[in-house]
Structure 1
Amino acid sequence: MSDIQLPIDFESQMLSLLGKQEFEAFKSAVNQSPRTSIRLNPAKTFSPIWPMSPIPWSENGFFLEERPSFTLDPAFQAGAYYVQEASSIFIEHILKSLQIPKGIYLDLAAAPGGKSTLLSSYLGNKGLLVANEVIQSRAQILKENAIKWGLGNIVVTNNDPDHFEPLEGFFDLVLVDAPCSGEGMFRKDPQAREEWSPDHLILCSSRQKRIMDKAGALVKGGGYLIYSTCTFNKQENEEMIHFLTEEFAFEPVQIPLDPTWNIVESQVETPDGTFFGYRFFPHKVEGEGFFVTVLKRPDSASSQDPGRIKDFKHPVLKSIGERDEKAMESELGFEGNGKYYSLNDSIFRINWNYFRHFEKISQHLSLRYFGVELGKKQKNDWIPSHEWALSTLPKSGFSTFETNLDQALDFLRKNEQQIPGLPLGWVLLTYQNLPLGWVKNLGNRLNNYFPKEWRIRM
């Protein structure tokens, strides 16, 4: 990797942050190629064959010795793992070490979905995650990744932070991975270096304050706020702690660290006590630049309950009656705790325990996806959706067929194919026992139901 030219003002900033000797080590590290890392989906059984080593602060994260072609790996397309930068997987350690209570979570700037899928795994069937993205095109990528992850506990929304105002005090955890100047991405992203300037840094800081001015109020009493950036400077990091504690009542949270991880803890003195930030430098850790802080709302802060909506009304969403729900749960072999809605003739399912929260959310936010889309029901027959195929819900009424690599890739490319020995009717194709999607074998031809917009073009 050729030497990276760093902006002069950035070099001055880092010299004052690190000192001359350490800055040289930092500069050398920025010129090294970053390591590829993945996080496994614990809800899907998958045994990678690549040489890997564990990321020390994660149970499910691993460094790969070399970068394979993820696009051409059917297991990746099936949601068996997510390609995620190692430093940001530290969120997993925060959740588990603090034993943050499960419930209703919000990822306010969620695309492409690395942290959302991590939160989804942590919540399992004991919570609901609102994964929000402001930019519409990026919300589509977020939706795809939520579908591939398959747990059915994500609501994808496409809203500005201002739109969340009616949901103040509603969330047990709010995560904001804020848009930032991207200093931590300099070795991976040449554009981040070109866009950097002291003026851009000030612009990012003011944008972050606008977002956090809304986000801080969304955390309920006793809940947690996680703020992170992929940048090094204090304006976008420690100064945000000062801003938050001036605007809202928060309590400090210290995260337990193993000293061998070489994560740098900083302390921020405020009138409300000493708060903590955690910085990842590429010359100290195997990972990109990252900063994170955790703050706790006092128990006395206001909390909002979802309440009961007697007659749920929505412009496009229709709640399905309890008798029909029970019949569907039984017919499909599910656990009996599903709440069902119809949207454009398609049936969606979410966990019954959180339907009141979902209905409250749906009154105020622009929904892009939620729970698991099961498909359409025509008389007694299901036309199953791709979303159901990739979900962890049972598919007990359907035949399955285990493909080899070539068959799996032909399916994912939507190539014309004949598969010897395939049963007639709807068949769920799998690869290494991971569901890939549906085909319908009509005897004389095979219909491929893989989404056209997802197909592999390589």
Structure 2
Amino acid sequence: MNSFKLPKAFQNQMKGLLGEVVYEEFEKAIEKEARTSIRLNPWKEIPNFEKTEPIPWSENGYFLESRPSFTLDPSFHAGGYYVQEASSMFIEHILKSLKVIKGLFLDLAAAPGGKSTLLSSYLGEEGFLVANEVIQNRAQILRENIIKWGLGNVLVSNNDPEHFAHLEGMFELVLIDAPCSGEGMFRKDPQARVEWSPDHVQLCASRQKRILDRSGALVKAGGYLIYSTCTFNELENEEMIRFLTEEFSYEPVRVPLDPNWKIIESKVETESGEFFGYRFFPHLVEGEGFFITVLKRPQDALSLEPKKVKDFKHHYLKEIGPKECEQIDLELGFSGNGTYFQLNESYFRINQDWKNHVDKLSQHLSLKYFGVEIGKKQGIDWIPSPAWALSILPKNKFETIELSKNQALDFLRKSDIQFIDLPKGWVLVCYQSLPLGWIKNLGNRTNNYYPKEWRIRNL
């Protein structure tokens, strides 16, 4: 039993929402231990992964029997899976059931990266994602998780929603997982109960309105806006649908549900008609508290397609010419559809289909990362980056060595590992065929190039 009692005002709020009888079931459920769930990276196969109970609305999601030490699993550090709450994986079902066009997506409040890695997986090689986080240190965590996921179809930015004003009508989908009062996390995070108050709910609702006011026009004609919270109250959920539809032109979207999922559909009357929200209650669903809604931008709304920039100018990014891009792809064994930018001495690769978009985005956003950082060029040789190792791009030009679990953990601790008969030069180290990073054999010693800021502490 949790020692942190539910606030009285919260109890009254939930009794009003659920009724006295159902509230008792809700309270019992919220005092039970939360289940752990993960979502596999469909672009990185984990050999011998024992598929446990599947999450019904996610093709790649699974409940675990117990919570292991993820820190001591090299597959986790390799981006083989992401530890994510089951309810929020419902976004995968939304994307697939609506067959959302794989264009330019925006995750406006993206850290630590659970929903961004989900969107990245859905987009694959066909789309591109802007994963934005307003708080700088959280943007660094987001950057690390995006690099480890490894698909190379994401730009990480560190901006306030108002900085997107020049990008109206540019996104096929905008996801706003809004900062909220966290009622849905009362089971997983007892401290959230202490921080909750009716005044805090009001404050969160004010922030959510500000975010929606600055982002409602970012969706292009025919595109979608997804709004979600991890809270139960109507002020932060249904009322935000009413606010959004008063401020912007949107059409309702109804998401198909399997009755066995026990997700509750909420009908919201607005001046523009009836809209729909979806509620996840812990006494009904194997997951935490969650609310989500989908709205569609009408076909007569603005659509912005960035044009080719003749003379690209940026205060710290340098564009690489087409011939040199082709040469780099040829040198590194890539498929030949990449374009490159140079930041200081390091080269970053993106799919050339999204070059115009990155040109446009870089003029308005504070970029923290994009595509795949390949590394630096030293004469005719390349100094490969950790991001290239963790990416799904080919690494055929390098020798590979398979590590045991203990060796992999030593590598992730940034310890130097001794090998017999290791080839000289750069060597890609792997655990169960999943790349982890680089070591360099200098002959008399090997250097571990795992990033210092990512290393795991001795446990």
Instruction: Report deviation, 1:118.
Output: 0.2
Task: Tell me the residue number matched to 1:363.
Answer: 363
Separation in structure 1 between the aligned mates of residue 222 and residue 78 of structure 2, nearest angstrom: 37
2:154 aligned with 1:154: yes
Instruction: Report deviation, 1:49.
Output: 4.3
Question: Mapping of 1:204-243 within 5 angstroms?
Answer: 204-243=204-243
Question: Mapping of 1:81-160 within 5 angstroms?
Answer: 81-160=81-160
Deviates more, 1:232-241 or 1:267-276: 267-276
Judge conservation of contact 1:3–1:31 (CA < 8 Å) in 2.
Answer: no
Task: Tell me the residue number matched to 1:378.
Answer: 378
Separation in structure 2 between the aligned mates of residue 2 and residue 188 of structure 1, nearest angstrom: 10
Letter in 1 for 2:141: I
Letter in 1 for 2:112: P
Separation in structure 2 between the aligned mates of residue 26 and residue 50 of structure 1, nearest angstrom: 32
Instruction: Report deviation, 1:3.
Output: 5.4
Task: Tell me the residue number matched to 1:22.
Answer: 22
Task: Tell me the residue number matched to 2:202.
Answer: 202
Separation in structure 1 between the aligned mates of residue 126 and residue 51 of structure 2, nearest angstrom: 34
Instruction: Report deviation, 1:47.
Output: 3.5
Question: Mapping of 1:14-413 within 5 angstroms?
Answer: 14-47=14-47, 49=49, 52-413=52-413
Give the TM-score normalised by structure 1. Answer: 0.99
SS at match of 1:212: helix
Letter in 2 for 1:223: G
Separation in structure 1 between the aligned mates of residue 34 and residue 257 of structure 2, nearest angstrom: 23
Instruction: Report deviation, 1:24.
Output: 0.3
Judge conservation of contact 1:405–1:431 (CA < 8 Å) in 2.
Answer: yes
SS at match of 1:217: coil
Judge conservation of contact 1:50–1:64 (CA < 8 Å) in 2.
Answer: no
Separation in structure 2 between the aligned mates of residue 243 and residue 192 of structure 1, nearest angstrom: 26
Separation in structure 2 between the aligned mates of residue 47 and residue 266 of structure 1, nearest angstrom: 41
SS at match of 2:275: strand
Judge conservation of contact 2:4–2:193 (CA < 8 Å) in 1.
Answer: no
SS at match of 2:376: strand
Letter in 2 for 1:437: G
Per-residue displacement from partner, 1:411-439 (whole Å, max 9, x unpaired)? 11011320223222110000000000000
Identity %: 68
Separation in structure 2 between the aligned mates of residue 2 and residue 134 of structure 1, nearest angstrom: 33
Task: Tell me the residue number matched to 1:448.
Answer: 448
Instruction: Report deviation, 1:321.
Output: 1.1
Separation in structure 2 between the aligned mates of residue 370 and residue 395 of structure 1, nearest angstrom: 19
Runs of 4+ aligned residues of structure 1 deviating over 3 Å after TM superposition are: 1-4, 47-51
Letter in 2 for 1:211: I
Letter in 2 for 1:169: G
Instruction: Report deviation, 1:4.
Output: 4.4
Judge conservation of contact 1:155–1:367 (CA < 8 Å) in 2.
Answer: yes
Judge conservation of contact 1:51–1:65 (CA < 8 Å) in 2.
Answer: no
Per-residue displacement from partner, 1:337-379 (whole Å, max 9, x unpaired)? 1010100100100010011001100000000000000000111
SS at match of 2:266: strand
Judge conservation of contact 2:51–2:62 (CA < 8 Å) in 1.
Answer: no
Separation in structure 1 between the aligned mates of residue 270 and residue 48 of structure 2, nearest angstrom: 47
Separation in structure 2 between the aligned mates of residue 82 and residue 60 of structure 1, nearest angstrom: 10
Letter in 2 for 1:117: T
Letter in 2 for 1:293: T
Judge conservation of contact 1:185–1:192 (CA < 8 Å) in 2.
Answer: yes
SS at match of 1:303: coil
Judge conservation of contact 1:399–1:428 (CA < 8 Å) in 2.
Answer: yes
Instruction: Report deviation, 1:50.
Output: 5.0
Per-residue displacement from partner, 1:189-242 (whole Å, max 9, x unpaired)? 122111111110000000000000011110011110000000000000000000
Separation in structure 2 between the aligned mates of residue 148 and residue 308 of structure 1, nearest angstrom: 31
Judge conservation of contact 1:117–1:146 (CA < 8 Å) in 2.
Answer: yes
SS at match of 1:53: coil
Question: Mapping of 1:414-453 within 5 angstroms?
Answer: 414-453=414-453
Separation in structure 1 between the aligned mates of residue 274 and residue 48 of structure 2, nearest angstrom: 43
Judge conservation of contact 1:389–1:437 (CA < 8 Å) in 2.
Answer: yes
Judge conservation of contact 1:4–1:31 (CA < 8 Å) in 2.
Answer: no
Instruction: Report deviation, 1:45.
Output: 1.0
Separation in structure 2 between the aligned mates of residue 248 and residue 321 of structure 1, nearest angstrom: 41
Q: Please tell me the root mean square deviation across aligned C-alpha atoms, in Å.
A: 0.9
Judge conservation of contact 2:71–2:456 (CA < 8 Å) in 1.
Answer: yes
Separation in structure 1 between the aligned mates of residue 276 and residue 45 of structure 2, nearest angstrom: 37
Per-residue displacement from partner, 1:286-309 (whole Å, max 9, x unpaired)? 000000000000010011111121
Letter in 2 for 1:379: G
SS at match of 1:54: coil
List runs of 5+ in structure 1 lacking aligned partners.
none
Judge conservation of contact 2:128–2:154 (CA < 8 Å) in 1.
Answer: yes
Separation in structure 2 between the aligned mates of residue 406 and residue 374 of structure 1, nearest angstrom: 28
Separation in structure 2 between the aligned mates of residue 104 and residue 190 of structure 1, nearest angstrom: 37
Separation in structure 2 between the aligned mates of residue 305 and residue 201 of structure 1, nearest angstrom: 38
Instruction: Report deviation, 1:161.
Output: 0.4
Per-residue displacement from partner, 1:83-113 (whole Å, max 9, x unpaired)? 0000000000000011011100000000000
Total equivalences in the alignment:
458
Give the TM-score normalised by structure 2. Answer: 0.99
Deviates more, 1:41-50 or 1:114-123: 41-50
Judge conservation of contact 2:242–2:270 (CA < 8 Å) in 1.
Answer: yes
